[in-house]
Amino acid sequence: MSGEARETRETGGALPDTVILRVKRLRKYFDADGDDPVRAVDNVSFDLHRCETLSLVGESGCGKTTAARAIIRAHAPTSGEIWFRTGAGEVVDLAGLTARELRPLRAEMQMIFQDPYSSLNPRMTVRDIVAEPLRIFGLTDRRALDKEVGGLLEAVGLQRSHMTRYPNAFSGGQRQRIGIARALALKPRVIIADESVSALDVSVQAQILNLLVGLQQRHELSYLFVAHDLSVVRHISHRVAVMYVGRIVELASCDDLFERPRHPYSAALLAAAPQVDPDRSGGFAPPAGEPPSSRNPPGGCHFHPRCPHAVARCRSEAPAWRQLDAGRLVRCHLAEELSLTGVGAAGGAARAQAQDRHG
């Protein structure tokens, strides 16, 4: 183990017992050696609690998927800390570990990918796809593998008889269930779901979301859920982090964010989302223009060129990431002064189950 990794193990013990993952000042720059790097993730910090679903939301290109991939070390972070509490109770900075040191921890953090078609090898049977991580981590007995794979398929709503089929025999929703079974194979503690229902029909989305909530309850899983569809986020999340141009601009409980956003960009996202109620009147117009480039973001508050509330301070001074009230953090100079429109309390069967489960 490297000296840096040893140091992180020694200094990470202050992580609260309720927190399973702590991300501090995470940055991921592309072309970092050049004069004008792409700041895909720029100073992101948050905690993920045990048995919690924390959603990262924002427009395409805001950095949410890059942040998730940096956390799981699919991308090497440019800087920052990724504290993870292992099943053995040890607190480790994943950002400071070598590939060899990371390998045994891969079992405890798994990923569900966006595309249920390209994420499954078409030349492998379902049995081989789901069994692959088990083989990598040492389970080679065929009878034991078949037992494990059959149980995993049944846990996600498929049948043991599906083991001998290939991915092209299944619908998109069924393929995503296979991907979920593969992610569950090693009994992880954290699952990163990267737009895991965005490629599915709406009715199938609801089935997969309810499945994820049920699995979370049974296996005490923590989810980092990456999404751009606010109706999906509203259905499954305990807390929501809103990203804009590589930074989190607001983090709050799901109900608080939807009822009363405190950052103008959060309000803009809510206003832009389709509403079921035709009588609802929008109180905040979606911002004009396109998001700025992550290679050359504007000075001050990154959102100020599109924000109707911007003042001179917003153009010249970057807002601090600060706690506004209990459970709410925001990056806006005017958060206390603005009265922004939300869309009412979150609902849905899965959300109700989650609230009952976590008090």
pLDDT tens digits, one per residue of 323-344:
998 889 999 999 999 989 888 6
Q: What residues contact residue 264 under an 8 Å CB cut-off, 6+ apart? A: 284, 287, 303, 307, 308, 309, 332, 338, 340
Are residues 291 and 63 in contact, defined by beta-carbon separation less than 8 angstroms?
Answer: no
Measured CA to CA in angstroms, residue 124 lies from 119, 121, 173, 183, 190 at distances of 12, 6, 18, 16, 26
Q: What residues contact residue 219 under an 8 Å CB cut-off, 6+ apart? A: 184, 187
Which of 124-128, 133-137, 266-270 has the lowest average pLDDT?
Answer: 266-270
Tell me how far apart the alpha carbons of residues 258 and 234 are, in angstroms, rounded to a whole number: 8
Of 6, 218, 53, 189, nearest to 110 by C-alpha is 189
Which pLDDT score, from 0 to 100, does residue 291 have? 85
Of 284, 252, 288, nearest to 268 by C-alpha is 284
> Which pLDDT tens digit goes with each residue over 283-320?
556 667 788 889 999 999 999 999 999 999 999 999 99
Question: What are φ and ψ of residue 353, in 5° steps?
Answer: -60, -45
Confidence at 3, pLDDT banded by 50, 70, 90: very low
Which pLDDT score, from 0 to 100, does residue 278 have? 56
Q: What residues contact residue 53 under an 8 Å CB cut-off, 6+ apart? A: 216, 222, 223, 225, 236, 237, 238, 239, 354
Q: What residues contact residue 90 under an 8 Å CB cut-off, 6+ apart? A: 9
Q: What is the pTM of this model?
A: 0.88
Residue type, 340: L
| Whether the predicted pLDDT of 129 surpasses 50 | yes
Across 5-9, 159-163, 325-329, the highest mean pLDDT is recorded for 159-163
Given the DSSP bridges, would you call strands 109-112 and 190-194 parallel, antiparallel or unpaired? parallel
147-157 average pLDDT score: 97
The mean pLDDT value of the chain amounts to 88
Residue type, 241: A
| Whether the predicted pLDDT of 349 surpasses 70 | no
Measured CA to CA in angstroms, residue 146 lies from 123, 129, 130 at distances of 19, 12, 10
Identify which has the larger pLDDT, 99 or 278: 99
Which pLDDT score, from 0 to 100, does residue 11 have? 44
Neighbours of 302 (CB within 10 A): 25
Catalogue all structural domains in the chain, each as residue range(s) with its CATH number.
Answer: 244-358 (3.40.50.300)
Tell me how far apart the alpha carbons of residues 48 and 84 are, in angstroms, rounded to a whole number: 10
| Whether the predicted pLDDT of 13 surpasses 70 | no
Tell me how far apart the alpha carbons of residues 173 and 205 are, in angstroms, rounded to a whole number: 8
Confidence at 275, pLDDT banded by 50, 70, 90: low
Of 32, 5, 23, 211, nearest to 99 by C-alpha is 5
Q: What residues contact residue 355 under an 8 Å CB cut-off, 6+ apart? A: none
Neighbours of 246 (CB within 10 A): 25
Measured CA to CA in angstroms, residue 291 lies from 69, 89, 166, 246, 286 at distances of 22, 41, 41, 11, 12
> Which pLDDT tens digit goes with each residue over 27-59?
999 986 777 899 999 999 999 999 999 999 999
